[in-house]
Structure 1
Amino acid sequence: MTLERTWLDVSYGEKDAAKAAGARWDGTARRWYAPPGKEAALQEWAPAPDVPDLLPGEDRTLGQGLFVDLVPSSCWFTNVRSCVTPRDWERLRRMITRRAGMRCEACGAVENRAEKRWLEAHERWTFDEQRLTQKLVRLICLCTDCHTVTHFGFAQVRGLGEEALAHLMRVTGMSRRLATEHVDAAFEVWQMRSRRSYALDLSILTEAGVTVVPPPSAQDRGRVAEETLRKQGPPSLRRPQQHA
């Protein structure tokens, strides 16, 4: 008979402290728990209520499949994870992967540590050009490879442009010509949006009981993006070359 686990909310940065206090890892559930008799010692990590599988106002039909989805440069490196506490991020991550059946929602891949393929959360946004608002409308579970395609510009910064293009073609069935045309169109939209500054609307999180740290201003987000890119090396936002 399987014993009922006393689950914990342990962020990645807290795992060593929780383990030292007696927490144990369940590899199947991919979650920390308190062994019998250790509940009091691990009370610090007692879980908050689960985030609902459908966030208030979330549109899970938006942005199906795999495509290049470039956010404006002023919003680089400012994402949901940077705007919530590590423990709330753990609650969100757990909900996102669970409702996706522990598979990538774009290609169906499962996590594979040997291949360094993880399941990651990606944001889908809508843009109100009149109010200059960038609104979070969906959170989606993507594998590392699909997530790299989605952030194609950052993939190029890291020297992964060709790998990302190959994965895009493999998953979608696009020819190289169609794939490069798709990337071209995504960059044109990105260039247009990057000329403007958008306020972030994260209300689907706050209405689900997730505490949001106010994101930096658009000016500060640009500075954060520039500093992070400098650490990554010189940016190379070149479009891939078409081949016959």
Structure 2
Amino acid sequence: MAKAAGAVFDGKEKCWKASVDRLDALLPFVPYRYRPDRKPPYIRPWMVPQALWGRNLRALLAKEDWDRIRKDAYARAGSRCRVCGGRGPKWPVEADEGWHYDDATRVQTLKGVIALCPDCHAVRHWGKTMSAGRQDEALAWMMEVNGWTRAAATRCADEAMEQWHERSAYSDWRCDISWATTHYGVTTIQGGDAIAEKRNQSFVQKASAQYGSRGGHASYIQHLLYER
């Protein structure tokens, strides 16, 4: 009887461990909002320093390479948002480049490309959202996804803008997209840096023409009108 009981216990323990292993295997596919190993903020504004405007995968890579990377992000997420699990009414998801900023070396490093629903993408691209007059909607969505009060969401947006000002005070930022070259074997197109620089100058000039020296959100907004 003791042996039989021990066998039953061992069998249950193995089943439990197998279930845990299966859950661990599924965890990377669970939207951030519902993962037990993540805490808010799950989504927040993430501003690109002015010196790096226009310097992204869409500018630096051939169109077919960028399309392959972004469509792969959509497929990995099942065409659902990696943050909230939702989908947009017009198009399900959009590609968002995730960057890390080293303020000491002033290097912007690409960490990956993920699929975001339009609502979560609107939070990330805060300037474009403000230019469209949808900041209240974006604040409400940030509150919903992160479980925040309006004051907390507003404070997060203000801190992101302050950080953007600090980073935009420097013109020597560099961009590292080795993640894309390593994972997809792509290379920048010939003259890609020059194209990115030309785009940067164009965005800055358009922002200056429309908003003058008012600065603040405005100079960032104009740039994002031309980015997706």
Q: What are the residue-to-residue correspondences of 1:5-44 with 2, within 5 Å?
A: none
Find the aligned partners of 2:54 and 2:196 in 1 and give their Cα distance.
12
Q: Indicate conservation of the 8 Å contact 2:88/2:119, yes or no.
A: no
Deviations 1:93-152 (A, max 9, x none): 121011112110111112432xxx441111111122333211111211111111111011
Q: Structure with the greater relative contact order (CA < 8 A, sep ≥ 6): 1 or 2?
A: 2
RMSD (Å) for aligned C-alpha atoms:
2.7
Q: Which amino acid aligns with 1:212?
A: T
Residue aligned with 1:215, SS: helix
Partner of 2:110: 136
The match for 1:98 is 75
Asked if structure 1 preserves the Cα contact closer than 8 Å seen for 2:43 and 2:145, the reply is yes
Which of these residues, 218, 226, 229, is aligned with residue 204 of structure 2?
226
Partner-residue secondary structure (3-state), 2:58: helix
Aligned length: 173
| CA–CA distance in structure 2, aligned partners of residues 157 and 130 of structure 1 | 31
Secondary structure of 2:113's aligned partner: strand
More helix per residue: 2
Q: Which position in structure 2 is the counterpart of 1:48?
A: none
Q: Which runs of 5+ in 1 are unaligned?
A: 1-60, 239-244
After TM superposition, the score normalised by the length of structure 1 is 0.62
- Write out per-residue CA displacement over residues 131-190 of structure 1, whole angstroms, 9 at most, x where no aligned residue: 321111121111111111101122212322222212211222211111111111111111
Q: 1:161 aligns with which of 119, 123, 135?
A: 135
Match of 1:28 in 2: none
> What pairs with 1:37-56 in structure 2 (closer than 5 Å)?
none
CA distance in 2, matches of 1:131, 1:217: 24
Larger Rg: 2
Q: Which runs of 5+ in 2 are unaligned?
A: 1-37, 219-228
C-alpha contact 1:148 1:164 (8 A) present in aligned 2: yes
TM-score by length of 2: 0.66
| Correspondent of 1:88 among 46, 56, 65 | 65
Q: Hey, what does 1:75 align to over in structure 2?
A: 52
